[in-house]
Amino acid sequence: MKIRKAVLPVAGLGTRVLPASKVIPKEMLPIVDKPTLQYIVEEAVAAGVEEIIFVTSRSKRSIEDHFDSFPELEFTLERKGKHKELAELRALQEMAVYTSVRQSEPLGLGHAILCAKELVGDEPFIVMLGDIIVSPETPCLPQLIEVYERYGGSVLSLVPLPPEVIPTYGIAAVEELEKGALKVTHVVEKPALEEAPSNLGAYGRYVLTPGIFPLLEKTPPGRGGEIQITDAIEMQARAGKCYGVRFTGDRLDTGTPLGLLTTSISFALKRPDLAPGLREYMRQTLEK
């Protein structure tokens, strides 16, 4: 079955980027001149996604507003002859169908995904975390979709992690399959370093089958008192229905102040209209 939907859990408080995230959702903080979340939506659409499902909270109305129509702004842009900006605005509104559901309590990533059950329905779907950007030059989702189409189970994006951060990720034990695919045999949330089954961590991109929903419904709170998606995926792994891709492409963590800054610099250096001035500024700054 073609994967048409992506769930974007964006209800978190963004405490790593306070005080900015007190009034601005962390997913709406800009990378150059676009909100972080827009890059993620564009990544999903480039992989063939047709419907974006936002899992929001009461403080995240600006996310829905950003992807909605804005007739007054469109009228002003048209009146002023700013046709390029108007076209970009309308393209954003029309690139996908946008729906949303609220997560009323911060009960974990697994619970956030479960909130989207009725909107997803009985079909496979993508999950994308809102503070991880994957460079369009090295896309991840097509690899996950390919493995899903080949084997039919849930698929995780797995990246090799340094020892010091292993206790902050879901870590997978794997077996090698053909053509870069991995069979996930065990996955554990935030293990102690000495108990980690490998150094491969789940990193912000998933293809999940609809069978994950009944598993989430019976998953008790785990690490941090939250319903962890890792615990439900572990049940799929034990049943032989979970796979992985060892992803080595460019990925950018925008969930910290340094990450936001370096990601903006990285994207600006790819822009012909910005790169020369930025390089000159950097050169002058380093010479001081």
In which residue are the tokens 């990601």 written?
263
Any domain includes 62: yes
Number of domains in the chain: 1
SS3 151: helix
Q: Around Cβ 188, how many Cβ atoms within 10 Å? A: 20
Alpha helix (H) ranges present in 24-182? Answer: 36-46, 61-66, 71-79, 83-94, 109-115, 117-120, 141-151
Any domain includes 275: no
Q: Do the strands 97-102 and 132-134 form a parallel or antiparallel pair, or are they unpaired?
A: unpaired
CATH number for position 133: 3.90.550.10
Domain that holds residue 71: 5-255
Any domain includes 282: no
Q: Do the strands 154-160 and 30-31 form a parallel or antiparallel pair, or are they unpaired?
A: unpaired
Any domain includes 17: yes
238 secondary structure, DSSP code: H
Distance CA 270, CA 125 (A): 31
Any domain includes 262: no
Q: Which residues contact 65 (CB under 8 A, 6 or more apart)?
A: none
Model-level pTM greater than 0.85?
Answer: yes
Any domain includes 152: yes
Any domain includes 204: yes
Any domain includes 196: yes
Count, in order, helices (H) and strands (E) of the chain.
11, 13
- What is the residue-level pLDDT of the chain in tens, covering all 288 positions? 789 999 999 988 778 888 888 888 889 999 999 999 999 999 999 999 999 999 998 888 899 999 999 999 999 999 999 999 999 999 999 999 999 999 988 889 999 999 999 999 999 999 999 888 998 888 999 999 999 999 999 999 999 999 999 998 999 999 999 877 999 999 999 999 989 999 999 999 999 999 999 999 999 887 778 899 999 999 999 999 999 999 988 888 888 899 999 999 999 999 999 999 999 999 988 887
Q: Are 81 and 72 in contact (CB under 8 A)?
A: no
